[in-house]
Amino acid sequence: MPFIIDGHNLIGALPDIQLADLDDEEQLLKRLQSITVHFRKTMHVYFDKRAPGAPSTFRQGRLIAHFSHQTSSADDAIKAHIRRLGRESSNWTVVSSDHAVLDFARNHGARTTTSQDFAASLNATRHENEADDERDVHLSPDEIRSWEELFDRNDSTST
């Protein structure tokens, strides 16, 4: 099941990445990239306010980062993405702390999970070596079990 993630909400739920960090988005994307490779899950991550001159979309394998323009928000972009999915939205999980985004997603048939719950799953998948590249990702049996439980829960229920 693919994911649509409110990036800054997820960063705010993680204990080891701070929104004030200059590379907070890069740190999150690096962490999510290893998950997309190992579990072969697509993740669209939305962030507010891209830097001037920076591309609005960045893709690395199954991880796609979207940066909103100065005049719009990540929340608006997430809602637009859900609208474009139409009936296919039931195949997606939306990750956010924003109740309006989660309600919108549920009302359009998508599954939802909070940033805090998703962050707990991320924290359970701490890598022994953060420098591992996408061809050499190592997850412990406990980390794999944690992700399998999250994916199973998302496949069978909506929160």
> How far is CA 92 from each of CA 15, 53, 82, 127, rounded to the nearest angstrom?
26, 31, 9, 26
Q: What is the pTM of this model?
A: 0.77
Report the CATH number that the domain containing residue 15 is assigned in CATH: 3.40.50
**pLDDT > 60? residue 126:** no
Report the percent of the chain where pLDDT is more than 70.
83
Average pLDDT of the residues in 52-68: 85
pLDDT tier at 73, thresholds 50, 70, 90: very high
Taking only the tens place, the pLDDT of each residue in 94-114 is 999 999 999 999 999 999 999
Q: From CA 10, how far away is CA 28, in angstroms rounded?
A: 8
Q: Which domain holds residue 26?
A: 3-156
Question: In degrees, to the nearest 5, what angle opens at C-alpha 5 toward C-alphas 43 and 127?
Answer: 65
Read off the tokens for 116: 């805090």
Q: Is residue 131 predicted with pLDDT exceeding 50?
A: no
* Domain count within the chain: 1
- How far is the C-alpha of 54 from the C-alpha of 99, rounded, in Å? 29
Asked whether residue 130 carries a pLDDT value surpassing 70, the answer given is no
pLDDT tens per residue, range 83-95: 999 999 999 999 9
Average pLDDT, whole number, for the chain?
84
**Looking at per-residue confidence, does 51 or 141 come out higher?**
141
